[in-house]
């Protein structure tokens, strides 16, 4: 496979964003275990999340191929760099691999993986253009965190559920904000401001968790990290809202997505009190940033 064809396949899976999904698995697993009690289960959950996340990116382009042919003809499928049959095969293989890896971990992990499959097709195929689209996308992110926590004795109760829902709200906001790329005028402004409010609401819910939860880590250092993250995100959001041109909107979206490993790292620090774990999660932003120079995150 030559370099240009390889690049096309890396573009269709949006490889930089994979590291944000991996950060969620770190977070979910460490919330319920506090350490890596089973390295094998953890690695399998990383593989499951990666397969499902990448398959969702591929099927997004499969279902968008007609719109992309008109609005984004340079995308891998409409440009012919990735044949449609190859894209469908790749998406199916990644999805099957993700579900298979989850099934090896156990029935709870398999259940969550199948729920993610439903959420992926709900968004990519049915709901993307509707008001429920951002909620479907947010549910994918929430379920990904829960997948990381799926080896917990009690899967549907505990700190990981609240954290997963808060991160889901954050992604609802990111998705809603991203819609302003396709609109102009007052509607675009409304969507951008609404997205900004939802993103900040998601982070504030996480801050509320830190402030209200006792017997875990020192909240002060975590709150300082959140303050820096909010400052960076809102600076980009404000710039895009006041001057809604493509590059500024794209940079705001990229900043919000690539901030996810840092948000997850702050939470890992709080729940485990292990700096090395937090740094390992935060380090996932490095390959994401390097790859994002050549490959679009969205």
CB contact at 8 A, 23 and 284: yes
Q: Sign (positive/negative) of CA torsion 63, 69, 70, 73?
A: positive
Residue 129 structural domain? 14-297
CA angle 168, 173, 174 (to 5 degrees): 95
Say if 8 falls within a structural domain. no
Say if 5 falls within a structural domain. no
Q: CATH number of the domain that 121 lies in?
A: 1.10.357.140
Domain count, the chain: 1
| pTM confidence score | 0.95
Cβ-Cβ contacts under 8 Å for 172 (sequence gap 6 or more): 134, 135, 137, 138, 198, 202
Say if 140 falls within a structural domain. yes
Say if 126 falls within a structural domain. yes
One-character DSSP codes across 181-241? GG--HHHHHHHHHHHHHHHHHHHHHHHHHHHH--SSS-HHHHHHHHHHHHHHHHHHHHHHH
Say if 193 falls within a structural domain. yes
For residue 77, what pLDDT is reported?
96
Say if 62 falls within a structural domain. yes
Say if 84 falls within a structural domain. yes
CB contact at 8 A, 144 and 113: no
Q: How far apart are CA 98 and CA 58, in angstroms?
A: 14
Say if 97 falls within a structural domain. yes
pLDDT digit of tens for each residue in the chain (298 aa)? 678 889 999 999 999 999 999 999 999 999 999 999 999 999 999 999 999 999 999 999 999 999 999 988 999 999 999 999 999 999 999 999 999 999 999 999 999 999 999 999 999 999 999 999 999 999 999 999 999 999 999 899 899 999 999 999 999 999 999 987 655 556 678 888 999 999 999 999 999 999 998 877 779 999 999 999 999 999 999 999 998 888 899 999 999 999 999 999 999 999 999 999 999 999 999 999 999 988 988 7
């Amino acid at each position: 496979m030559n370099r240009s064809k390889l690049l096309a396949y890396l573009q269709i899976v949006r490889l930089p964003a994979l590291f944000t999904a991996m950060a969620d698995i770190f977070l979910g697993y460490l919330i319920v275990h506090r350490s890596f009690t089973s390295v094998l289960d953890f690695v399998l959950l990383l593989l499951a999340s990666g397969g499902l996340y990448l398959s969702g990116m591929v099927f997004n382009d499969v279902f968008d191929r007609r719109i992309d042919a008109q609005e984004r003809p340079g995308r891998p499928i409409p440009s012919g760099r990735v044949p449609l049959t190859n894209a469908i095969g790749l998406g199916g293989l990644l999805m099957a691999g993700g579900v298979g890896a989850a099934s090896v971990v156990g029935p709870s992990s398999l259940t969550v993986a199948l729920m993610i499959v439903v959420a992926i097709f709900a968004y990519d195929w049915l709901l993307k253009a509707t008001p429920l689209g951002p909620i479907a996308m947010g549910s994918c992110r929430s379920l990904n965190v829960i997948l990381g926590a799926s080896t917990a004795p009690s899967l549907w109760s505990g700190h990981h559920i609240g954290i997963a829902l808060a991160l889901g709200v954050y992604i609802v906001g990111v998705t809603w904000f991203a819609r302003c790329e396709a609109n102009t005028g007052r509607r675009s402004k409304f969507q951008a401001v609404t997205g900004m409010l939802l993103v900040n609401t998601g982070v504030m819910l996480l801050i509320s968790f830190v402030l209200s939860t006792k017997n875990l880590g020192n909240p002060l250092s975590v709150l300082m990290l959140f303050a820096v993250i909010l400052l960076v995100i809102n600076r980009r959001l404000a710039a895009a809202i006041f001057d809604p041109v493509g590059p500024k909107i794209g940079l705001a979206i990229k900043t919000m997505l690539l901030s996810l490993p840092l948000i997850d790292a702050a939470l890992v620090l709080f729940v485990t009190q292990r700096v090395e774990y937090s740094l390992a999660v935060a380090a996932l932003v490095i390959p994401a940033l390097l790859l994002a120079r050549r490959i679009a995150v969205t």
